[in-house]
Structure 1
């Protein structure tokens, strides 16, 4: 019996649930393109007993860093995911985050009707970001960001909400 105000140790699977929920939330935040089944699969694959699971210990203790690596292999290697927009939907300004970096990019924002409302040449470095304020005074609606590199053209939809 534990006296009031003291601390005692305990163990059990019920303690693992909040830990795994927290790890899952962190993984989803790090790789927002991932779906629940991919996160669950990455957690299983990262377990210390993944190659020999059993009915008592399952796949073992998951390794969060290994699970993140697995998810990034799936998602960040896709060219369309090497550039992220945050936040989206936007109310004022937003950031373009370059997870991988081309030598140079041309950024253009178009209205839904096709009007060019912003253009900028940019030379990103690894992990760099660019803050865009071009939509701050614009009406709510759908806009398109076109990102041109030497090797590809990416189109990202931006939703502008009321400020």
Structure 2
């Protein structure tokens, strides 16, 4: 699996559809799934799920794997979808911005939905669910170093995402979303 930044405008446009982000998240959290299983979980038609999975496959984000019988589950190919307009020009910049906005729309929708469900979680999980915002006054170098440190903490658990046998009993998918923005001068 590769983490290289996505620079192909067509691949970036493929990520500008919010439902495709839902499919990627489902495959991230639950592993390989057929279009039928995606349909059941996400409430979309099998035809829609199949279409969007094929679009993601066309640009190398997912691929089919052999399943039992005629089943063809889809799995992630890329560990991370790295999107940035840095170093891009013209159409590619616009496609990167569209993909980023679709990602953010889907991320905020998921966060709102999971926060609404917090009261239904067992008590031991409720303390782990919430949002936090803060402002720190940093130099560009300090900001980059802080983000690297936070990424290293999150990377510590990456192997569990890909290998279910490494997950301790009681482990659940916990979504962490980190955003860093800089105030204008």
Higher relative contact order (CA closer than 8 Å, sequence separation 6+): 2
TM-score, structure 2 length as denominator? 0.21
Larger Rg: 1
More strand by share: 1
TM-score, structure 1 length as denominator? 0.23
